[in-house]
Amino acid sequence: MILCIADLLPPGEVQALGEALADAPFVDGRSTAGWHARLVKENLQLSSADKTIADLRAHLTDTVRRHELFELAVRPKALTPVIVSLYKEGMQYGAHVDDAVMHGLRTDVSFTIFLNDPDSYDGGELVIETSAGEEAYKLPPGAGIVYPSGALHRVAPVTRGERLVVVGWAQSYVRDAGQREILFDIDRARRALFQAQGKTAEFDLISKSLANLLRRWAEV
């Protein structure tokens, strides 16, 4: 499942992050890539050497994890520390698949949060390969996209301006992507039913089924 979330970082967080990054140190992004991804990766990443930067990344990670729609879609058991990536003109990230294990976590779900106005740069789309072909995404500030970590994807070359994003990975309580999508759809339906009719017998039955499916599929 590929899901776009409009406010994965709220506007106030985006503005505060932009101010915090104004003079922040960036380093060669290839330092965190696997040996094969390093061949096609050309970007910069926020250095994590400074404690202030480490605290900022921890805050961003916590903000993402607490987002209601993210929690429903991902069922996160744990998140890796996020990375802030910068693409200047001419930079790109060729086709690659994310590492299966990062920071001791199995990566089930990847996410990218866009931080600058899409009109301020050309290129830089996140391109994900699907069974229907390539799908390209370039979202407004604060908007994020959640997608399977096992999907081949790339970042198109930036031909004007700069592309600034937050990226991260989650291990889910539910390993299987199809099962996560079923849980997500059922949970959205029961919440819509509750909004329309309150706590009914039908709502209770759906809640029971959701809980029992999660009990069957969750890895704790």
pLDDT digits (tens, 9 = 90+) for 46-104: 987 667 778 888 899 999 999 999 999 999 999 999 999 999 999 999 999 999 999 99
In a 13 Å sphere around the CA of 13, the CA atoms on its Cβ side amount to 20
Sorted by sequence, the CB contacts under 8 Å of residue 83 that are 6+ apart come out as 32, 45, 46, 57, 166, 167, 168
Region at 37 (left for phi over 0; alpha for psi -120 to 50; beta for the rest):
alpha
Q: Let me know how many helices (H) and strands (E) the chain has, helices first.
A: 5, 17
List C-alpha distances in Å: 178 to 1, 98, 217.
8, 19, 11
List C-alpha distances in Å: 213 to 2, 5, 34, 41, 216.
21, 25, 36, 40, 5
Q: How confident is residue 18, by pLDDT bands cut at 50, 70 and 90?
A: confident
Report d(CA 30, CA 37) in Å as an integer.
8
Give the global pTM: 0.93
Per-residue model confidence (pLDDT) at position 55: 86
Report d(CA 209, CA 31) in Å as an integer.
45
Report d(CA 95, CA 128) in Å as an integer.
9
List C-alpha distances in Å: 66 to 63, 116, 144.
5, 22, 14
Per-residue model confidence (pLDDT) at position 160: 98
Chain mean pLDDT for the chain:
94
Query: What is the widest separation between alpha-carbon atoms in the chain?
Result: 58
Asked whether residue 24 carries a pLDDT value surpassing 90, the answer given is no
Q: Which residues partner with 109 through β-bridges?
A: 148, 170
Per-residue model confidence (pLDDT) at position 53: 78
Report d(CA 188, CA 182) in Å as an integer.
10
Q: Strands, DSSP E only, in 26-91? A: 26-28, 41-42, 44-46, 76-79, 83-87
How would you class 174 by CB atoms within 10 Å of its CB: exposed for 0-12, middle for 13-18, buried for 19 or more? Answer: buried
Q: How confident is residue 20, by pLDDT bands cut at 50, 70 and 90?
A: confident
Asked whether residue 145 carries a pLDDT value surpassing 90, the answer given is yes
